Structure 1
Amino acid sequence: MNLLKTALTFDDVLLVPAHSTTMPKEVSLKTQLTKNITLNTPILSAAMDTVTEARLAIAIAQEGGIGIIHKN
């Protein structure tokens, strides 16, 4: 069973500005986080007590992302 999939980091990608005929409303940012969780916006916050509390987690969730709340 092969669990490893191809993945990219920031160093693997270079975005070059160019003209595009794609309209923003035609673009989907949906991301498969786990087998059962799909995010509409690929935003995850850090599970740090100085970063993510309930208010931020709720705000991110309302935008389609997920806030990871710390356990401290």
Structure 2
Amino acid sequence: MSNGRGKRSTVYRYLTGPDDAEFCKRVTEALSLGWSLYGAPTLTFDATKGRVICGQAITKDVEDFQYTPDVKLSDL
């Protein structure tokens, strides 16, 4: 029995970058576009460049979404 709505899918992205204001802005932008934090952020040290690298997983529920390898998740 159909409820009149399409299939709902959860999509996943993993944002990474130097631990700076630009990384925080990217995460904030994703949140403002309906993405949600998924788990805790991660940190690692890039000894070659002498800087901390952040990572944050995010997810978003999308209606009527059919995954294909060429889909640009940041456009959802």
TM-score by length of 2: 0.29
Determine which structure has the larger strand proportion and give its number.
2
Q: Which has the higher contact order (CA 8 A, sep 6+)?
A: 2
